[in-house]
């Protein structure tokens, strides 16, 4: 065989040997799937349970009803995935556990941290997506599922399950509670000064609790009454201040101490200036700061002062200027302002007619039969029209 033919035969044999694996090896030519990425989670503080939030207190700093959840996504080589990789999480029971994300400063109309979701996603930063777990009304076991596309093969999905427990939380409570003995007081039209058992005083208890529902051992609240034209408040007498009796010290607003979670206020139907009080509503406002979370708290209670007699005209009083009045053409003052003060049987001012009423409830008459100096009344009636004469009806 010539040399070139021998060379060709050897080349063909080598090619065949390579094609069939040379009699050994790993089966030749098959490709294995790339290694998968991975997911990990971390609940801050290692928390695995929260008390149920039966009072539905909104999220606040240091509240016991929420905790931060971090989910990390890594490539197969252990490096973090690119920023902006979305991680989805969902809860198996929204009545027990809800989810939220970090607040987005670009959305100034809402706070995403306080927006609760059953399913939500967040982008990664340095491989980590941040979420928040919030307890809700019902206790129970909940599964939180996190998922994201595999960074090594996007057609695959990485997934992990986070077990969590919501335990039975404290019974529903208010951090500021206002409990008046009653909310209706009689009008103190004669300005009777305070005394124990007075019908013009209502004892009111203020209760303060922290975010966990426990009574505060100490602290302060701010007290305000509005309007103060018909009301004031006082407190229990302090035995340390022997010169004054705080029960008699009537004020409209102030800072008061909490003792063992309680504060006793006395709400008075009494004007600080000693003037008669009139029927109408007023509001007690209590404000405070939660010592645990720093949240500003506020609660209001509406009271009503009522007349002790039907709110119908019983007496009328004429109020007039003391200036001298001269007849027409004399060159002196010929105009005098007069007002009618109409009160009910308890000496309280009767209410104004309701809007739209067409009746006139006061009549003015000049009883002298002569014309004299041309005296007339001028006023405005219920229809809003100017009226003039020796006898007029006005509202």
Residue 12 lies in a domain: no
Local confidence band at 191 (pLDDT 50, 70, 90 cut-offs): confident
Based on its alpha-carbon atoms, the radius of gyration of the chain, rounded to whole angstroms, reads 41
Q: Are residues 248 and 144 located together in one domain of the fold? A: no
Final residue of a structural domain among 306, 332, 352: 306
Residue 11 lies in a domain: no
pLDDT at residue 274 in the model? 60
Final residue of a structural domain among 109, 132, 167: 167
Note if the pTM is more than 0.85. no
pLDDT, greater one: 32 or 132: 132
Mean pLDDT of 58-80: 96
> By percentage, how much of the chain surpasses pLDDT 90?
62
Q: Are residues 77 and 161 located together in one domain of the fold? A: yes
Rounded to a whole number, what is the largest CA-CA distance in the chain?
A: 164
Q: Are residues 298 and 351 located together in one domain of the fold? A: no
Mean pLDDT of 374-384: 85
Residues 6+ apart with CB under 8 A from 41: 69, 70, 71, 72, 146, 160, 162
Q: Are residues 226 and 141 located together in one domain of the fold? A: no
Count of domains for the chain:
3
Structure tokens at 209: 């609790």
Residue 263 sits in a domain whose CATH number is 2.60.40.10
Nearest to 305 by CA among 227, 204, 224: 227
pLDDT at residue 257 in the model? 96
Q: Are residues 159 and 45 located together in one domain of the fold? A: yes
Domain of residue 350, residue span: 315-394
Give residue-wise pLDDT tens across range 207-249.
999 999 999 999 999 999 999 888 999 999 999 998 999 999 9
Beta bridge partners of 227: none
- Which of 194-198, 273-277, 283-287 comes out lowest in average pLDDT? 273-277
Residue 1 lies in a domain: no
Q: Are residues 288 and 359 located together in one domain of the fold? A: no
Nearest to 185 by CA among 262, 277, 252: 277
Residue 64 lies in a domain: yes
pLDDT at position 5 over 50: no
Residue 18 lies in a domain: no
Final residue of a structural domain among 137, 167, 197: 167
Residue 10 lies in a domain: no
pLDDT at position 3 over 50: no
Q: Are residues 191 and 299 located together in one domain of the fold? A: yes
Q: Are residues 113 and 204 located together in one domain of the fold? A: no
Q: Assign 3-class secondary structure to the chain.
A: CCHHHHHHHHHHHHHHHHHCHHHCCCCCCCCCCCCCCEEEEEEHHHCCEEECCCCCCCCCCCCCCEEEEEEEEECCCCCECCCCCEEEEEECCCCCEEEEECCCCCCCCCCHHHCCECEEEEECECCEEEEEEEECCCCEEEEEEEEEEECCEEEEEEEEEEEEEEECCCCCCCCEEEEECCCEEECCCCCCCCCCCCCCEEEEEEEEECCCCCECCEEEEEEEEECCCCCEEEECCCCCCCCCCHHHCCECEEEEEEECCEEEEEEECCCCCCCCCCCEEEEEEEEEECCCCCCEEEEEEEEEEECCCCCCCCEEEEEECCCCCCCCCCCCCCCCCEEEEEECCCCCECCCCCCCCCCCCEEEECCCCCCCCCCCEEEECCCCCEEEECEEEEC
Backbone dihedral angles phi then psi of residue 6, each to the nearest 5 degrees: -60, -40
Q: Are residues 354 and 260 located together in one domain of the fold? A: no
- Which of 173-187, 336-350, 376-390 comes out lowest in average pLDDT? 336-350
Q: Are residues 91 and 149 located together in one domain of the fold? A: yes
Local confidence band at 373 (pLDDT 50, 70, 90 cut-offs): low
Residue 8 lies in a domain: no
- Which of 5-9, 268-272, 366-370, 384-388 comes out lowest in average pLDDT? 5-9
Mean pLDDT of 323-346: 79
Q: Are residues 127 and 62 located together in one domain of the fold? A: yes
pLDDT at position 25 over 70: no
Residue 62 lies in a domain: yes
Taking the C-alpha atoms of residue 196 and residue 153, their distance in angstroms, rounded to an integer, is: 82
pLDDT at residue 50 in the model? 98
Q: Between the CA of residue 393 and those of 321, 341, 386, what are the distances in Å?
A: 21, 15, 10
Q: Are residues 360 and 292 located together in one domain of the fold? A: no
């Amino acid at each position: 065989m010539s040399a070139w033919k021998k060379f060709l035969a050897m080349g063909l044999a080598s090619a065949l040997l390579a094609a069939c694996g040379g009699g050994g090896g790993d089966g030749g030519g098959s490709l294995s799937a790339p290694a998968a990425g991975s997911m990990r989670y971390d609940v801050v503080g290692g928390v695995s349970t929260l008390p149920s939030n039966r009072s539905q207190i909104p999220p606040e700093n240091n509240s016991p009803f929420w905790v931060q959840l971090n989910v990390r996504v890594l490539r197969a080589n252990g490096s973090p995935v690119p920023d902006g990789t979305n991680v989805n999480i969902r809860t198996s029971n929204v009545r027990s556990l809800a989810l939220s994300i970090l607040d987005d400063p670009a959305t100034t109309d809402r706070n995403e941290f306080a927006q609760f979701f059953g399913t939500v996603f967040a982008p990664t930063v340095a491989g980590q997506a941040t979420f928040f777990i919030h307890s809700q009304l019902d206790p129970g076991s909940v599964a939180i599922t996190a998922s994201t596309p595999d960074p090594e093969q996007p057609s695959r999905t990485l997934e992990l399950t986070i077990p969590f427990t919501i335990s039975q939380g404290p019974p529903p409570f208010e951090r500021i509670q206002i409990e008046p003995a009653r909310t209706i007081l009689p009008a103190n039209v004669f300005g009777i000064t305070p005394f124990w058992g007075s019908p013009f005083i209502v004892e009111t208890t203020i209760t303060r609790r922290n975010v966990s529902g426990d009574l505060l051992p100490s602290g302060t609240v701010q007290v305000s009454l509005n309007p103060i034209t018909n009301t004031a408040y006082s407190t229990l007498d302090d035995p340390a201040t022997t010169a004054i009796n705080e029960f008699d010290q009537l004020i409209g607003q102030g800072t008061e101490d909490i003792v063992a979670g309680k504060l006793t206020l006395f709400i008075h139907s009494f004007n600080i200036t000693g003037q008669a009080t009139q029927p109408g509503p007023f509001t007690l406002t209590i404000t405070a700061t939660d010592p645990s979370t720093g949240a500003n708290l506020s609660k209001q209670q509406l009271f009503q002062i009522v007349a002790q007699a039907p709110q119908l005209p019983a007496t009328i009083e004429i109020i007039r200027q003391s200036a001298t009045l001269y007849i027409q053409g004399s060159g002196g003052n010929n105009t005098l302002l007069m007002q009618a003060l109409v009160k009910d049987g308890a000496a309280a001012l009767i209410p104004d007619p309701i809007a739209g009423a067409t009746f006139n409830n006061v009549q003015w008459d000049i009883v002298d039969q002569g014309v004299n100096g041309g005296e007339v009344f001028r006023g405005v009636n219920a229809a809003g029209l100017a009226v003039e004469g020796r006898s007029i009806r006005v509202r």
